[in-house]
Amino acid sequence: MQEQAIENVVIIGSGPAGLTAAIYLARSDLNPLVITGLNPGGQLINTDLIENFPGFSSIKGTDLMMKMMAHAKELGTRFIYEAAESIDVTSVIPQGNNGKFTITIPRADPVCAQAMIIATGARHRHLNIPGESEFTNRGVSWCATCDGPMYKSKKVAVIGGGNSAVMEALFLSSFASEVTLIHRRDTLRADNVMQQKLFNKDNVRCIWNSEPSVIAGKTTVDTLYIKNRLTSDETILKVDGVFIAVGTTPTSEIVKELVVLDDEKYILATDTATSCEGIFAAGDVVSRSLKQAIYAAGHGALAAKRTEEFLGRR
């Protein structure tokens, strides 16, 4: 019976964090293996245009991720184009090998590894209303930092009432001629300091106790239908863009029994080191992530360095 190979490090996730970690680890001759997930490239492949990633004045999200993946491959990174199903901490490894983790993968043999980097990202929460998916990247966005400058002197709406929504509205107020914040309650959940900054903006207004019901337009968004939750009255708002900021859901299910998570299920990590020795985490799945591609990439580089130290390569 052939002895099972033990990987130095397995990276779960193939967004900016995972691929950057792979590039750094490959350059250190650690021969990393990436389990991509069902959508290689992560959430960024759904971003039509990126204008704030260093080195590219403008690039499609898909193109950026394909370049990063090609770079990792050139350096020797290997890929399994599947989603990891489970991770077990192995107490006894056959033949005395020093592997520690066993990753189960559908339609592939289990993989054993000495160390792991979790870079599974987070999913934007959706409104699940008509027009949301149809107009994604054609007026519907989940990232003001990414897309805000494209709405200079235009009218936009922000959906949400927490810190993320207020931050989006404040950022957009520097570009848009008018920002309308729509919240399902009559008070915001954002920090008081942030609320005051928002209320001091002349080009920002709030619509309370309301939710969007339909996003409409021809080729791009031009109309948002809003329903009052108390009266059921409908308002028609003419806008050029709709920014959805109702939160994100971390993709941390696979390690929920292995590492400490915060109240929102994000991974708690110090310099990318989790509570489980040998498991590191980077990018949007980590608590308090900036949720920007460049931040995730830098976080991936740090995770790679910490993994090298753990494996005794630094």
What residues does each domain of the chain span? 6-123+248-310, 126-244
Burial class (CB in 10 A: 0-12, 13-18, 19+), 194: middle
The predicted model scores a pTM of 0.80
Q: What is the pLDDT along the chain (314 residues), one digit of tens a residue?
A: 345 678 999 999 999 999 999 999 999 999 999 999 988 998 888 777 788 899 998 898 899 999 999 999 999 999 999 999 999 997 544 444 456 899 999 988 899 999 999 999 999 899 999 999 999 999 999 989 888 999 999 999 999 999 889 999 999 999 999 999 999 999 999 889 999 999 999 999 999 999 999 999 999 999 999 999 999 999 999 999 999 999 889 999 999 999 999 999 999 999 999 999 999 999 999 998 888 899 999 999 999 999 999 998 75
Which residues 6+ apart lie within 8 Å of 204 measured at CB?
A: 169, 170, 173, 178, 179, 180, 181, 198
Superfamily of domain 6-123+248-310, CATH level 4 = FAD/NAD(P)-binding domain (3.50.50.60)
Torsion of CA 192, 198, 199, 205, to 10 degrees: -130
CATH topology of domain 126-244: FAD/NAD(P)-binding domain (3.50.50)
Read off the tokens for 93: 């490894």
User: What is the set of active-site residues?
Assistant: 143, 146-147
d(CA 314, CA 305): 8
Q: Do domains 6-123+248-310 and 126-244 have the same CATH topology?
A: yes
